Amino acid sequence: MERELWPLLYSTVREVARGFSQKYVQIPGWALIVTMLWAALHDRPVSWACKAANWANTCLHPRRVPSAPTMSRRVHGEAVALLWRAVEQRLRDLTGTPPALAAFLDGKPLTVSGVSKDPDARYGHGAGINAKGYKLHTVWSNLALPETWEVTPLNISEKVVARHLIPQLAGGGYLLADGNYDANPLFDLAGACGYQMVTPLPRGEKPGSGHHYQSPHRLRSIALMQCSFGKKLYRLRTTIERTYGNVTSFGGGLAPLPAWVRRSHRVRTWVWAKLFVNAARVLHNKGLTSSLKNVVYRWGSRPAARRFIFSPVGTADNSPAIYRWEQNEGKALSPGRDERIVIPRRRHDR
């Protein structure tokens, strides 16, 4: 899987990084991001990716691999975060489709051990249980990446985080959420951003008839859930559950937080890298990576349709051995187009 996804990730970062520069640094920001992505793609610590020997199976790597102290000091900073955001938007744009009319607001717990000494992890409501850790909050539509997302400790209410996520949405449509987001201020905020939020029908004989303030957008949500169109519309909310399942169900996906990912800034960067890996997987599976093939070759990778075979051509005793590229099917290229490499003959070649 990593051999298929890595060219897209590497080339996208390099293309976006052309518009970024940073003074007084020896290692550019794009090298930090690709090192983080290399570690996340293989589910390894960052210190593993900082060893040049672990890049031996690819020619797409920084000329100088950053050290572990450099990664710890800079990869979570604001300067590199601007490049992270630009690469994130680039991966969204590669999907090539406009956002759907239905978006989905939900959270995913990222738990740690109950005896963990992580000072940023908190106890809160997980998937039906009390747990300790963090939570990934997303608004997801039909793109390879969420429309917007945030990582917080597990004790932060979903309503509080939604106040920061909803204003970042563009366009308009329906915003489907579960009952945890059933709050009048959120309905008004979504309506101001062009979205009609839809939540499950509240309990009670006459929902929406209380004496306190009732948002008109909440009353419309209640009316929608009482008709056939609203019920069919809300069935689409299970899409977010499948999306979270797909994000975690492949090698290199967003599995439970490993032991070396602790503290909020490390968790955020790790989730960022995992979302990029998942976006590359989605684009690869949908065949949306053709526009970057020439970009991949530009950075030094060899075309996949060729392989280097060691078959000497014209090996006289006193002549050098000549090797050439051949097609995967075993057919040699035309004599006028052979890419030949002349290697002096050694004693054991005779």
Residue listed under structure tokens 């790597």: 61
Across the range 173-179, mean pLDDT stands at 94
Q: What does the mean pLDDT of the chain come to? A: 83
Say whether pLDDT at 293 is over 80.
no
The more confident residue out of 338 and 276 is 276
- Measured CA to CA, the distance from residue 325 to residue 319 in angstroms comes to 20
> Environment class of residue 157 by beta-carbon count within 10 Å: exposed (0-12), middle (13-18) or buried (19+)?
middle
Across the range 91-114, mean pLDDT stands at 90
| In a domain? residue 86 | yes
- Measured CA to CA, the distance from residue 95 to residue 103 in angstroms comes to 16
The more confident residue out of 127 and 310 is 127
Q: Which residue, among 102, 105, 126, 98, has the nearest Cα to 114 in the 3D structure? A: 126
Alpha helices in the chain (DSSP H): 2-17, 29-41, 46-49, 68-74, 78-94, 158-165, 184-192, 216-224, 228-234, 238-248, 264-285, 293-298
Count other Cβ atoms within 10 Å, centred on residue 294.
9
The more confident residue out of 305 and 22 is 22
Residue 199 CB-half CA count within 13 A? 22
User: How many domains does the chain fold into?
Assistant: 3
pLDDT of residue 202: 84
State whether 214 and 74 are in the same domain.
no
Handedness of CA 249, 250, 254, 260 (dihedral sign): positive
pLDDT of residue 315: 39
Question: What percent of the chain shows pLDDT beyond 90?
Answer: 65
The more confident residue out of 126 and 236 is 236
State whether 86 and 114 are in the same domain.
no
- Tens-place pLDDT, residues 36-74: 999 999 999 999 999 999 999 999 999 999 999 999 999
pLDDT of residue 22: 85
Integer distance in angstroms from the first to the last C-alpha of the chain?
41
State whether 201 and 216 are in the same domain.
yes
Say whether pLDDT at 335 is over 80.
no
| In a domain? residue 265 | yes
Q: Between the CA of residue 101 and those of 45, 141, 192, 235, what are the distances in Å?
A: 39, 8, 16, 14
In sequence order, what are the beta bridge partners of 306? 327
State whether 284 and 311 are in the same domain.
no
Last residue of a domain, one of 268, 283, 304: 304
| In a domain? residue 216 | yes
- Tens-place pLDDT, residues 238-276: 999 999 999 999 888 998 999 999 999 999 999 999 999
| In a domain? residue 160 | yes
pLDDT of residue 288: 57
pLDDT band at 1 (very low <50, low <70, confident <90, very high): low
State whether 241 and 282 are in the same domain.
no
What is the domain range of residue 320?
A: 306-349
| In a domain? residue 253 | no
State whether 23 and 127 are in the same domain.
no
- Tens-place pLDDT, residues 208-224: 767 788 899 999 999 99
Q: Among 169-183, 194-208, 232-246, 268-282, which is the least confidently predicted range? A: 194-208
What backbone phi and psi angles, to 5 degrees, belong to 96?
75, 10
State whether 63 and 179 are in the same domain.
no
| In a domain? residue 254 | no
Strands 130-140 and 148-153: antiparallel
pLDDT of residue 316: 41
| In a domain? residue 34 | yes
Q: Which residue, among 78, 37, 7, has the nearest Cα to 252 in the 3D structure? A: 37
